[in-house]
Structure 1
Amino acid sequence: MIWHNIKSKSFLSAYVLVVLMLVVAVVTDQKDILFPEIAGMAMGVMVFPVPHWIKKPVHLWLSPTLAAFMGTSLNALSLTPLLKIWLGFVIIVILMHIFRVNFGPTIPAGLLPIFLGLHDYVFAITTAIFTFVIMLAAFKARNPEKLSNGPATFRKKIDTVIISMVLCLWIWLAFATGIEVLVVPPVFALIFEIFHSEKFTWKLIPARLAVLTITAILSVGVYHMLDESIIWVGIINVLITLLLCNLFKAPVPVAFGVSLMPLIYPAWGSWWFPLGVLITTGVLMCISAAYRQFRN
């Protein structure tokens, strides 16, 4: 199965896009170009297709692009980083609801420039470029004949309000305790989506938790082993993540984003990062499963 995925044209296309992002960041000496969720988005469209992502390809480009520009713009405000992140998160969620966007990676696209304190628009511009390519891939991958013609179901407002409060409290906890590794943007995207899923149950947690945690452990290990080489660390970590997704039979696109996070921020390159991923993913997934059990 793993060899079949590696040889597939879809994986090679997604892999080339990720490697291109890494190469451009090194050649231009601009780490701000690195957006880990590009890897997750590419895999979630080309390798492990997420149906509701592919259904509206334009959202794959516009949503994260606008969020990235908005997040960068908020850094001009005279507010604390926590207030900026809260404000950015609330704006993103409101706009996602107004425009009926079901694309979780929109959230990390808006939060990362705030968390990293980016003031130029390099991150936003390159996000626009790479997500445009992913949008084209989604147009090619989707099959209009299989799309539902009935009224589209959309997440309930009460669910959105509750998970938004939970994530805001989690971000506050990270800032209040000074434990930066609890801020894991790709995981936030995953939790936002599964919280609204009608079929998320307890038995789905172990495999996903294992994939994300082991990915974080091995990614940090490779990061230190290869002396922080952006290109080689990215190349190897994406392959490791693909192997883990197949091994645990749990295709989790955001795991590819987690695998690249050690490259962009010191705390995420430390050995505390896997613990942060384990705690963040485990606690928030359990909250999601418990809430879904209560609602059902």
Structure 2
Amino acid sequence: MKIRRINYLIGYILILLMVEFSVKMGNHHLILPEFAVLCVGVLALQEAHWIVNPFKIVLMPSITAILGFSINLLKIDYLFKIYLVILIMLVVLKIANSKLAPSFATGLLPIVTNTSHWYFILVVVGMTSILMLGVLLSGSYKNIQNPIKSLERDAMRQYLEILLLWIILVHLLGVDMMIAIPPVLVLLLEVIQKEHYPVNVFLKQVIILTGIAYLSMGVHQLISNDVIYISMMMPLILIILKMFRIQLPAVYAFPLLILVIPTPMTQQLGLYTLFASGFSLGCVYILKKYSLKERLIHIVKRVIN
């Protein structure tokens, strides 16, 4: 417990240093929202499937960042950019035998923020290298005994199907901007790989995602200083997650996301998060419940016969 508290503090300091540096440079593109997620998951929670190979902490986000940056330069529709980058990222994660879900967000970010500067890639490499060094020094990855399985094809297929349905829905509603909420898409990749997804977990995750998105919006409107704003939000998120007794690293991206996404998206982030998480995670809940029922029916039929 003491080690975890120290690791939280180290991650907290690293996030504040990143924001402070961006303020000094006068450039919000130096802020990487998923760095906060990685700090919590890699340093504090020491997620096994994130730290099992420390070098992939740098490799995977760097590859997806390059992919997202390159695809953003293509003269194609925003929705196609999002779907294309996610499709390619899933293939890359599969080939690399990696489940580092936050690397999804580093691929989405250059498209969401319309990044056109190469230093974005340098920021990703630099930030993730610090975390890799921390994992190597701690040696925590050496204690992982169970091998990490790669993404299953069924999970990849289901992810793409849910995303396609979501794209069609938001396009029909005329709010294409709502398609890519990075924390939601990262969490979607996490939960779709789980065997069971109870309704109480589904509802709790939607409530927390939406609540912290709205909280980030509200606090940012009250506090104009970015460093003070982030220094308040990070402990608040930790307290909320402790109250709900849940580990949800993806939500730590919301306060930083507010600082980098376009203004129209910032003003509706809470509502967009509610719809995006309710729909996508709801689809996963239905899929898991239906498949579980099918398996039970199959077992019963075998017993009867």
The verdict on a shared fold, with TM-score over 0.5 as the criterion, is yes
Partner of 2:104 in structure 1?
107
Partner of 1:226 in structure 2?
223
Cα 1:33–1:169 change in 2 (3 A) is: farther
Q: Does 1:259 find its partner at 2:255?
A: yes
Paired residue for 1:142, among 140, 143, 163? Answer: 140
- Deviation by residue 1:38-57 (Cα, 9 ceiling, x = unmatched): 10110111223322112222
Kept in 2: contact 1:88–1:111 (CA 8 A): yes
- Equivalent residues in 2 for 1:93-104, closer than 5 Å: 93-104=90-101
Partner of 1:75 in structure 2?
72
What is the percentage of aligned positions where both structures have the same residue? 23
- Deviation by residue 1:73-122 (Cα, 9 ceiling, x = unmatched): 22332222222222212111111111111111121111110122111112
The CA RMSD over aligned residues, in Å, is: 2.1
Kept in 1: contact 2:18–2:31 (CA 8 A): yes
- Displacement after TM superposition at 1:203 (Å): 2.2
Could you tell me which runs of 5 or more consecutive residues in structure 1 were left unpaired when the two chains were aligned: none
Partner of 1:199 in structure 2?
196
Instruction: Tell me the amino acid that sits aligned with residue 200 of structure 1.
Output: Y
TM-score, reference length from structure 1: 0.90
Paired residue for 2:52, among 35, 50, 55? Answer: 55
Paired residue for 1:235, among 231, 250, 256? Answer: 231
Could you tell me which runs of 5 or more consecutive residues in structure 2 were left unpaired when the two chains were aligned: 293-305
Q: Which moved more, 1:30-39 or 1:66-75?
A: 66-75
Partner of 1:295 in structure 2?
291
Look at both structures and tell me which one has the larger radius of gyration over its CA atoms: 2
Partner of 1:92 in structure 2?
89
Distance 1:133 1:220 in 2: 29
> SS of the residue aligned with 2:85?
helix
Kept in 2: contact 1:72–1:118 (CA 8 A): yes
Partner of 1:167 in structure 2?
163
- Displacement after TM superposition at 1:288 (Å): 1.1
- Deviation by residue 1:275-294 (Cα, 9 ceiling, x = unmatched): 21122112222211221223
The count of aligned residue pairs is 289
- Displacement after TM superposition at 1:267 (Å): 3.0
- Displacement after TM superposition at 1:256 (Å): 0.2
Kept in 1: contact 2:48–2:144 (CA 8 A): no
Distance 1:169 1:131 in 2: 33
Paired residue for 2:211, among 209, 214, 225? Answer: 214
Instruction: Tell me the amino acid that sits aligned with residue 243 of structure 1.
Output: I
TM-score, reference length from structure 2: 0.87
- Deviation by residue 1:155-186 (Cα, 9 ceiling, x = unmatched): 32122112122124324543552252452112
Paired residue for 1:11, among 2, 5, 8? Answer: 8
